[in-house]
Structure 1
Amino acid sequence: MAGSTLWRNTVWTLFGLRDYTKSGYERNSKKFNKNALNADLTEKVAIVTGANSGLGKYVATELYRRNATVYMLCRDITRGEQARKDIIKEVEEIKVEGLDSKVKVNETSLKLRKVDISDLKNVREFVESLKNENDGKCHILVNNAGVMNQKREFTSYDVETNFACNTLGTYYLTKLMFPLMQKTGPGARIIIVSSGGMYTNKLDVEDLQFEKLNPFDGTTAYAQNKRQQVELTEYWSKKYPEPETGVKFVALHPGWSDTPGVSTSMETFYRHAKSYLRSIPQGCDTILWSAFSEEAEKVPSGSFIFDREVVPTHLPLAKTRSKPVDVEKLVNEIEKYITIGLEEPSAEENFASISS
C-alpha cells in the first residue's frame, strides 16, 4: 500500500505543530476578514452530513443561525434528535439575548434525516425525497461525515467500512446531489471536509479495501481515504467546470481540532496533543468560510483550503502525486462498488423523516 514514509510523516508533523494547532489558528486568523462570515442565508438550503456532534453539529448550528434551511444527516437518530434540540435551544438563546439581530428562529428550517452515508440505498432514498422539497434545490453540501474504525469490518455489501463511509458514500451522495446543485447554481458549493493526514499518503488504487494493510491500522486507512477525497475533488472540478455548471467543489483541512471523533479514534494522539488542539469553532471557520462567504467565490473549483487560503495538496519531495489514469481507475472502481451496493438487499429500511 502506498502509505506513509518517514519523510512524509516527519514533514507533516513539523507542518502540523506549526500550523494545524490552536496557536497556528491564532496566528493565521490575524489575516482573516472578520466580516467574511456575516451573511444572511435566508432561502438558502444546506446539507450537513455527520451533524450530530463535533464539527458537523457546529456547522449546522451556524448555518441555521444565519437562517438557512439545514438538513442534518445523522446515522444515529437518537443522537441526531438531541443535537437538533441543542441547536434550536442555542439559537433561540442567541435571539433572546439580542446577540444577533438577524436570527429569526424557525424550527421547521432545521430538519433531521436518518442517513447512514455508507448505506448507498439510504443515500439514494434521501436524495430522491429531497427532489420534492425546496423546489429540488440545494445551495450548500458539506460532506463532513467520516469514520476511523480501528478494526477491519465490512458493510452488508462487503465493503470495508472506512472506505464505504469516507470515500464511497461521500462520492455517491455528491454524485446524486450534483444535478440539484447545478439546478441551484451559479453559486452552489460542495465542500469536502478532508484531513491533513492525506499528506502522508499517495493514492493507492490497488488496495481500496486494505487487504494488504497488515496489521490493519484505521489511522492509515483514514489518511488514504482522505487522499482519495482530495483527488476526487480535483476530478469533479475538471469534469464539471464551475463556469459551465455553476457548482464549485472544494476540499479543506480544518486543522487538528478537539472533537469527539479525535478523542475516541485517536486516543494516544489526543492524550498528548489535547492542549494544542483547536476548538471546534476554530476548526469550523474555514468550513463556513468556504460554504458561503463572498471571498470564497474567488477560490478556484477543485482547490484544497486551509485557514481560508488555497494550499498545495502535496508536501515537498513527498512523491505523492497521482497519474490521471490512477484517478480514473479509482472512479471506475467506486462505480463498481456502487452497483454492488445498490443490488444487495438492505438489512433494514433505515431512512426516516423525523422533522418537516
Structure 2
Amino acid sequence: MGSTPSFPRVSIPKDNISVVTGGNTGVGYHTAKWLAMMGGTVIIACRSEERAKQAIEQMNKEFEEEKEKKTTGIVDYDQLNVEFMSLDCNSLKSVISFVEAYKSSGRKLHKLFCNAGIGQQDKLSYTEDGHEQIFQVNYLSQFLLVSHLLPLMKASGPDCRIILVSSIGHLFAHFDPVDVELKKYSEPECKSDKLYQNSKLCQIMQMYRLNEVLKDTNVTVFSLHPGTVRTELLTTFKRGMMKYVISMLETVGASKSPFEGAWTSLNAGINPELAGVRDVYFSDSKPTTPASAARNKSYQAALWDYSIECLKGYLPDDILSGLQ
C-alpha cells in the first residue's frame, strides 16, 4: 500500500452513512472503500450501475485481502456495506431523482463527498439543461445535490460534513462575475482547462458561503486538493496550463496513486479533531490558503446568486430558505 496512510483509522458505526459521488473509480473509489472498511455504510452515486457493481465487487475482494493481512483499523464484517444509487451530474433531473430516491429510503446522511468530476474536454459542450458541461458536472449539479440534502443532514445528528473535492487548478482560474460559466469562449477559442479551473474555484467559494449559511448548525463544509493523482481524469489534460503543471509534478515525483489521493478526503471526512471546524481548504491533509479569488466575498456572493438563478426551477421555497 506504499507509505503510511495520512488519515486516522477510526471506528465508524454501521448506521453512519456517507454518499460519495463518483465513488466507482479513482479517488472516490478508495474513499468509499475505506469508509466502508472502517465500518460505515456507503452509497456510491454515479452514472453506471454496471461499473458501480464491478467496483463494489472489487472493493470486497480487496477487503478480504486486507483482513487476511490483519490490517489494523478495519472491521470484521462478512462484506462491506456499499450500495449503488444512480446519479448523472450531466442532468439536473437526475440529481432530483437521486434526492427523491435517497429521501424515500428513510436513511440519515452524515457525510457527503462531492467527488465526481470531469477534466479537459475536446470541445465546448453543453448539457441538456443548457449549462457548460464542466461547470455543471463539477459544480452546479453537486450544488443542487447539497441544497436538497442539507435538511436531511441537519436532522442526522452531530458532526455531519460536506467535502468538496477541488483542485490545485483553481489557482489558475479567472472568475468573471458577469460570465460565471465563461460562455464568452466561442468554439475555436475554447480552452477547457480554463473551464475546469473555474469549476474547481467555484467549489472553494461554495465552501465559504455554505459555511456562513450553516454556521449555527451541525453541518460543516471542507474543500481540498487531493494531489496530482494518477486517474482517468488526469489523462484528459493534453494541453494548456494544467498539462504543464501535471507534467512538472510528475517529473519531480509528486504524483500520487488513487489510494494516496483519497487520504485528504478521508482525513477531512472522518478526523475527530476536525469536528466543528469550518472554512478549511486542505492539500495533503494540511490546511492551505487557497487563491485570493476563492476568498473574495463579492465573488462568492455573485456565484451564489448565479447558482440559485440557474436552479430556480429546482429549488422549492423550503429548500431555498435553507440557503439564506
Q: TM-score normalised by the shorter chain: which range applies?
A: 0.7 to 0.9
Task: Tell me how far 1:323 sits from its aligned partner.
Answer: 4.7
The residue type equivalent to 2:76 in the other structure is: K
Q: TM-score, normalised by structure 1?
A: 0.78
Find the counterpart in structure 2 of residue 44 from structure 1.
16
Find the counterpart in structure 1 of residue 119 from structure 2.
148
Change (3 A) 1:92 1:255: same
Find the counterpart in structure 2 of residue 301 from structure 1.
278
Task: Determine whether 1:232 maps to 2:232.
Answer: no
| Local SS of the residue matching 1:245 | coil
For residues 135-189 of structure 1, give each alpha carbon's deviation from its aligned partner in whole angstroms, at most 9, with x where no partner exists.
4311111100011242211111211100111111111111111111111132101
Contact 2:176 2:182 in 1 (8 A): no
Seq. identity, %: 25
Change (3 A) 1:99 1:219: same
Change (3 A) 1:159 1:321: closer
Structure 1 segment 270-281 matched on structure 2, within 5 A: 273-274=249-250, 276=253, 277-281=255-259
Find the counterpart in structure 1 of residue 310 from structure 2.
337
| Alignment partner of 1:255 out of 227, 244, 248 | 227
Find the counterpart in structure 2 of residue 6 from structure 1.
none
Task: Tell me how far 1:190 sits from its aligned partner.
Answer: 0.4
Task: Determine whether 1:130 maps to 2:107.
Answer: no
Task: Determine whether 1:89 maps to 2:61.
Answer: yes
Find the counterpart in structure 2 of residue 70 from structure 1.
42
Find the counterpart in structure 2 of residue 203 from structure 1.
175
Task: Determine whether 1:221 maps to 2:195.
Answer: yes
CA distance in 1, matches of 2:314, 2:103: 22
CA RMSD in angstroms comes to 2.6
Q: TM-score, normalised by structure 2?
A: 0.85
Task: Tell me how far 1:222 sits from its aligned partner.
Answer: 0.7
The residue type equivalent to 2:212 in the other structure is: K
Contact 1:48 1:72 in 2 (8 A): yes
Find the counterpart in structure 2 of residue 190 from structure 1.
162
For residues 8-31 of structure 1, give each alpha carbon's deviation from its aligned partner in whole angstroms, at most 9, with x where no partner exists.
xxxxxxxxxxxxxxxxx98xx8xx
| Alignment partner of 1:115 out of 57, 63, 87 | 87
CA distance in 1, matches of 2:309, 2:196: 21
The residue type equivalent to 1:330 in the other structure is: L
| Local SS of the residue matching 1:153 | coil
Change (3 A) 1:182 1:222: same
CA distance in 2, matches of 1:75, 1:107: 23
Higher relative contact order (CA 8 A, sep 6+): 1
Find the counterpart in structure 1 of residue 289 from structure 2.
312
Q: Which moved more, 1:121-130 or 1:174-183?
A: 121-130
Task: Tell me how far 1:341 sits from its aligned partner.
Answer: 7.0
Find the counterpart in structure 1 of residue 301 from structure 2.
328
Change (3 A) 1:320 1:157: closer
Find the counterpart in structure 2 of residue 288 from structure 1.
266
Contiguous gaps of at least 5 residues in structure 2: 316-324
Change (3 A) 1:168 1:37: same
Task: Tell me how far 1:202 sits from its aligned partner.
Answer: 4.0
Task: Tell me how far 1:64 sits from its aligned partner.
Answer: 1.0
| Local SS of the residue matching 2:178 | coil
Contiguous gaps of at least 5 residues in structure 1: 1-24, 343-356
Task: Tell me how far 1:107 sits from its aligned partner.
Answer: 4.3
| Local SS of the residue matching 1:154 | coil
Task: Tell me how far 1:288 sits from its aligned partner.
Answer: 0.4
Contact 2:223 2:280 in 1 (8 A): yes
CA distance in 2, matches of 1:101, 1:252: 24
Task: Tell me how far 1:239 sits from its aligned partner.
Answer: 1.1
CA distance in 1, matches of 2:85, 2:204: 26
| Local SS of the residue matching 1:320 | helix
Change (3 A) 1:51 1:102: closer
Change (3 A) 1:94 1:230: same
Find the counterpart in structure 1 of residue 318 from structure 2.
none
Change (3 A) 1:141 1:266: farther
CA distance in 2, matches of 1:102, 1:148: 33
Contact 1:95 1:101 in 2 (8 A): no
CA distance in 2, matches of 1:101, 1:152: 45
CA distance in 1, matches of 2:68, 2:304: 49
Task: Tell me how far 1:52 sits from its aligned partner.
Answer: 1.5
